[in-house]
């Protein structure tokens, strides 16, 4: 409470550790599905081409755009994977009442790496390009596209449910 006006400044949410862990594990399953299955298929004059999340970065690398390929790979795969792995590690160990090794630095990295995972931007780019390509080819959405959209929604839910204050308190420290 504010000492001056008495307004509530912060309230603890109930059961955030279990909710966050359930959502992060769901996001991990969706992340695996989004990377394991075809994202989009293009059918143009009988030629069908499948693509997945990593094929864009690979195609840019093969064309000689190493820097752009690296940025695409980092923002669409590496940072989201690091975010999910870090949160899973921290939440699982806190759930079983163990203090994770180097937990504070891992959680600090997770919090700083989160904005660099630009999955929403990628989904928007895919949807815009699918609309543009619809005149030239038949665009067939794959299982990974739906998994990817679900992943974005689940990650938004994780951000709203996760209580960083609780995690810092359980580790006995400040951010």
pLDDT in tens, the chain (175 residues): 788 888 887 777 788 889 999 999 999 999 999 988 988 877 777 777 788 878 888 888 999 889 988 988 888 888 889 999 999 998 998 888 877 677 777 888 888 777 776 667 766 676 667 666 667 777 778 888 899 889 989 988 998 898 887 887 777 666 5
Per-residue model confidence (pLDDT) at position 174: 60
Per-residue model confidence (pLDDT) at position 16: 87
Per-residue model confidence (pLDDT) at position 172: 65
**Scanning the structure block, which residue is given the tokens 């959405």?**
141
Per-residue model confidence (pLDDT) at position 160: 87
At residue 15's C-alpha, the angle toward residues 14 and 17, to 5°, is: 130
Q: How far apart are CA 127 and CA 121, in angstroms?
A: 10
Per-residue model confidence (pLDDT) at position 23: 95
Per-residue model confidence (pLDDT) at position 133: 66
Coil/strand/helix, residue 17: helix
Beta-carbon contacts of 107 under 8 Å, excluding residues fewer than 6 positions away, are 86, 90, 164, 167, 168, 171
Beta-carbon contacts of 92 under 8 Å, excluding residues fewer than 6 positions away, are 21
């Amino acid at each position: 409470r504010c000492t001056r006006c008495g307004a509530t400044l912060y309230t603890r949410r109930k059961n955030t550790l279990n909710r966050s862990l359930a959502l992060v594990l769901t996001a991990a399953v969706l992340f695996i599905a989004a990377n394991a299955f075809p994202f989009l298929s293009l059918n143009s004059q009988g030629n069908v081409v499948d693509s997945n999340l990593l094929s864009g970065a690979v195609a840019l690398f093969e064309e000689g755009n190493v820097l752009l390929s690296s940025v695409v790979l980092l923002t669409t795969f590496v940072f989201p994977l690091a975010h999910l792995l870090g949160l899973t590690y921290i939440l699982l160990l806190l759930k079983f009442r163990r203090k994770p090794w180097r937990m504070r630095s891992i959680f600090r990295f997770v919090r700083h790496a989160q904005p660099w995972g630009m999955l929403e931007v990628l989904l928007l780019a895919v949807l815009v390009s699918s609309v543009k390509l619809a005149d030239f080819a038949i665009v067939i959405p794959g299982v990974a596209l739906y998994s990817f959209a679900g992943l974005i929604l689940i990650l938004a839910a994780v951000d709203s449910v996760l209580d960083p204050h609780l995690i810092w308190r359980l580790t006995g420290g400040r951010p």
